[in-house]
Structure 1
Amino acid sequence: MNPDIQKKILKFETFVNDVLKEDLAQLEQKLDAKNADIAEFLQLKAMITTFKNNGLDKSGFKTQVDIGQNFFIEAQVSDASTILLDIGLGHYMELSIDEAVAVINVRVKLLEQQIKHFRKEIARTNAHIKLILLGIRELQGFDDKM
Structure 2
Amino acid sequence: MPGPDFIDMEKVSKYENFLNEVLRVDLKTTLDRRDELYNEIAQYIELQTIMGKLSAATGGGEDDGDIGLGTKLKTRVDIGSNFYVQAEIPSTKTFTVDIGCGIWLQMTGKDALKFCDKKLFFLNARADELTQKELSIKAQIKMVLEGLREIQKIVTKEPTPRNEL
Distance 2:24 2:49 in 1: 37
What do you get for the CA RMSD once the two structures are aligned? 1.7
| Structure 2: segments with no counterpart, 5+ residues | 60-67, 159-165
Q: How many residues align?
A: 145
Give every structure 1 segment of 4 or more consecutive aligned residues whose post-TM-superposition deviation is greater than 3 Å: 66-73
User: Could you say which residue in structure 1 is the equivalent of 2:32?
Assistant: 29
| Counterpart among 131, 136, 142 of residue 148 in structure 2 | 136
Tell me which protein shows more helix as a share of its residues: 1
Q: CA distance change for structure 1 residues 102 and 2 in 2, over 3 Å: closer, same or farther?
A: same
User: Could you say which residue in structure 1 is the equivalent of 2:50?
Assistant: 47
Distance 1:123 1:71 in 2: 39
Q: CA distance change for structure 1 residues 71 and 121 in 2, over 3 Å: closer, same or farther?
A: closer
**What is the CA deviation profile of residues 23-44 of structure 1, one whole-angstrom value per residue up to 9, with x for unaligned ones?**
0000000010000000010001
State the shift of 1:145 in Å. Answer: 2.9
User: Could you say which residue in structure 2 is the equivalent of 1:2?
Assistant: 6
Q: Which amino acid aligns with 2:38?
A: N
Larger radius of gyration between Structure 1 and Structure 2: 2
SS of residue in 1 equivalent to 2:155: coil
State the shift of 1:72 in Å. Answer: 4.0
Distance 1:117 1:140 in 2: 35
| Counterpart among 109, 112, 122 of residue 100 in structure 1 | 112
**Which piece of structure 1 moves more, 49-58 or 62-71?**
62-71
State the shift of 1:12 in Å. Answer: 0.1
Scaled by the length of structure 1, the TM-score of the pair is 0.91
User: Could you say which residue in structure 2 is the equivalent of 1:83?
Assistant: 95
Q: CA distance change for structure 1 residues 51 and 132 in 2, over 3 Å: closer, same or farther?
A: same
User: Could you say which residue in structure 1 is the equivalent of 2:85?
Assistant: 73
| Structure 1: segments with no counterpart, 5+ residues | none
Distance 2:80 2:30 in 1: 31
Higher relative contact order (CA 8 A, sep 6+): 1
1:19 aligns with 2:31: no
Scaled by the length of structure 2, the TM-score of the pair is 0.81
Q: CA distance change for structure 1 residues 71 and 24 in 2, over 3 Å: closer, same or farther?
A: closer
SS of residue in 2 equivalent to 1:95: strand
Distance 1:73 1:112 in 2: 33
Tell me which protein shows more strand as a share of its residues: 1
User: Could you say which residue in structure 2 is the equivalent of 1:124?
Assistant: 136
State the shift of 1:45 in Å. Answer: 0.6
Q: CA distance change for structure 1 residues 134 and 67 in 2, over 3 Å: closer, same or farther?
A: closer
